[in-house]
Structure 1
Amino acid sequence: MFVGVGSTNPVKRSATKAAIGEMPGLSVDAVDVDSGVPEQPRGHAQTVEGAISRARRAYDAGEFDLGVGIEGGIAEFDGVDGRFLVMWAAVTDGDRVETASGPALRLPDAVAERVDAGEELGPVMDDAYGRESVATQEGAAGILTGNVVSRTDALETAVAGALGPFVTDAY
C-alpha cells in the first residue's frame, strides 16, 4: 500500500504510519502540499478544510492508494470556556473522503491570548515554554499533557479515526 501524507512534518508521517500499522509493502511518503488555509487555522471548519485539502493534494501528487491530510487548529466549543488545540485528519482514496478528530486540549490563557492576537501556536509554544521546534517534536499536546500524550499519539488517533471507514466493516 502506498500512502501520501500531505506534509513534510516528520510527526505527521510517523502518526500516519502508526495508525496504519505494520504491513508488508507499506510505504508512507511525505508530500509537500499547501493546506489551502491560513498557517494557523481557526475553528473546526477551517481546520477540517485544511486536512481535506492536504489529503486530496497528497493523493493527487503521486501514485498513492490513499492520501492523508492532518491539520491542527484552534477552536472553541459551545458550553466550554477557553480555546482548544484541535486536530483533524482526512483520508481519501480518490473517490471518497473520511474525516476524524483527535483530542481537544485547552490552551493556557496566556498562550490562547497570543494566538488570538494573530501568532501561530508552534512558535508561541516554543517561546512560552523555552523550547525549539515543538511542532516537530512532542508538540503542544506533549507539553500540555506532561508528555502523557505526544503530538504523534494525538495525531495517530485522528488518522486512525479517518482511516476506519476504509479498513473496517463498521461503516
Structure 2
Amino acid sequence: MIIGIGSHNPAKIKATQPFVKYFEEAELVSYSSDSLVSAQPFSDEETKIGAINRAKDCVKQGAEIGIGFEGGVMEMEDGMYLCNWGAVADHEGNVYSAAGARILLPSLIVTGLKQGKELGTLMGEWTKDPEIRKKDGAIGVFTSGMLSRSEMFLHIATILLGQYVYNENK
C-alpha cells in the first residue's frame, strides 16, 4: 500500500507516522502537490480546502491513501491566529478532515501578513532562519519550543487516522 503525503516538507512528512505505523506494510511517498489555494491562506475554510486538495492530489498521483496538511491564518475578534488543517483521502472517494492548534500571532507578524507576505517568509526573516517552516515553524517559536510544527501536524494526523479507521470499520 502506498500512503502519499502532499508535501516535501520534513515537518509534515514526520507527522505522517501514525499512518505508517498503523499500516505496517505501507510505503510512504512524498508527492509534489498543489493546494490550489492562496500561497498564504487567510481563513479556516481556505486552509481546510488546501489540505483536502493536497490529500486528493496524492490519490490522483497513485497513492491508495493521501494525506494533506495546510497551514494558514484566520482573523478573529481579538486578532489573527495561526490555524492548521489536515485531510486524508482514499481511492474510494472518502475524505476526512481535522483542525489543530490555534495561537494568537504577534502584531509585528500580522502587519507583515496584511502587507502580503507569507507567514513562513516572515518567520524566516524574524528568526534569521529561512528554513524555520521545515523545523519548529511559527508554533514552535511562539510556544518557546514546547510544540513543534511536526508535533502540531502529528496531532491532526492521529485524529485523521482515528476517523479513517472508525469509518472503515463501521
The TM-score with structure 2 as length reference comes to 0.91
1:141 counterpart letter in structure 2: I
Q: CA deviation at 1:129?
A: 2.0
Which of 120, 139, 148 aligns to 2:137? It is 139
Q: Is the 8 A contact 1:2 1:26 kept in 2?
A: yes
Q: Is the 8 A contact 2:73 2:83 kept in 1?
A: yes
Q: Is the 8 A contact 2:58 2:66 kept in 1?
A: yes
Mapped to 2, the partners of 1:140 and 1:68 lie a distance apart of 21
Mapped to 2, the partners of 1:33 and 1:130 lie a distance apart of 28
Counterpart residue number, 1:14: 14
Mapped to 2, the partners of 1:43 and 1:162 lie a distance apart of 20
Q: How does 1:75-154 map to 2 (within 5 A)?
A: 75-77=74-76, 80-94=77-91, 95-154=93-152
What SS does structure 1 have at the residue aligned with 2:66? Answer: strand
Q: Give per-residue Cα distances to partners, 1:72-99, cap 9 Å, x unaligned.
A: 001023xx41111111000011321100
1:3 counterpart letter in structure 2: I
Q: CA deviation at 1:22?
A: 2.3
Counterpart residue number, 1:31: 31
Superposition RMSD in Å: 1.7
Q: Give per-residue Cα distances to partners, 1:100-146, cap 9 Å, x unaligned.
A: 01101111110011011110001101111222211111111110111
The answer on 1:155 being equivalent to 2:149 is: no
Q: Is the 8 A contact 2:37 2:46 kept in 1?
A: yes
1:84 counterpart letter in structure 2: Y
Mapped to 2, the partners of 1:37 and 1:163 lie a distance apart of 24
1:30 counterpart letter in structure 2: S
Mapped to 2, the partners of 1:163 and 1:118 lie a distance apart of 34
Q: Is the 8 A contact 1:101 1:157 kept in 2?
A: no
The TM-score with structure 1 as length reference comes to 0.91
Mapped to 1, the partners of 2:52 and 2:130 lie a distance apart of 28
1:37 counterpart letter in structure 2: V
Mapped to 2, the partners of 1:141 and 1:65 lie a distance apart of 31
Mapped to 2, the partners of 1:9 and 1:147 lie a distance apart of 19
What SS does structure 2 have at the residue aligned with 1:8? Answer: coil
Counterpart residue number, 1:70: 69
Moved over 6 A (4+): none
Q: Give per-residue Cα distances to partners, 1:20-66, cap 9 Å, x unaligned.
A: 2525322211100111011101101110110010000011101x221
What percentage of residue pairs aligned between the two structures are identical? Answer: 32
CA separation of 1:105 and 1:44: change in aligned 2, threshold 3 A: same
